[in-house]
Amino acid sequence: MWTLSLFTTGPVTVWAYLSPRNNALAGDGLTYAVSFDDDAPQSVDITGVTGSDDGVMNPQWARNTSDNVNRTATTHRIGRAGAHVLKFWMVDPTVVLQNLVVDTGGLKPSYLGPPESLRLS
């Protein structure tokens, strides 16, 4: 759980950078969830999003493999500027979070994400 200040409203994308892992439990997927404030969590099945489809290489899978990181995203709508609480849930036991990037618009491409924002106390 992190508290952050957002200066804009509207859609934001939360990029999760996760260590590549295998499923630890029987069943499909490797799942985490993200939410802002008291909104319902959005679940992401990492293996479903980044796997290959019908034997054709998925471009996201190829990038994740070369970078040694699974990068997935959720989109949220922010209704007011100001302080917000970002929550991240490790739904399955082998989810390993490396980095979270909150894109409020204008995120430039970079290798493994932009530099960390300043922290003001």
Chunked in runs of 10, what are the mean pLDDT values of the chain (121 residues)?
Answer: 92 94 75 96 86 62 79 95 96 91 91 77 54
Inside any domain, residue 58 = yes
Inside any domain, residue 93 = yes
**What global pTM score does this model have?**
0.85
Backbone angles phi, psi at 93, to 5 degrees: -70, -15
- State the pLDDT at residue 97: 94
Domain span holding position 44: 2-103
- CB count within 10 Å of CB 50 equals 21
The rounded distance, in Å, linking the Cα atoms of 78 and 14 is: 12
User: What CATH number does residue 60 fall under?
Assistant: 2.60.120.1620
Inside any domain, residue 111 = no
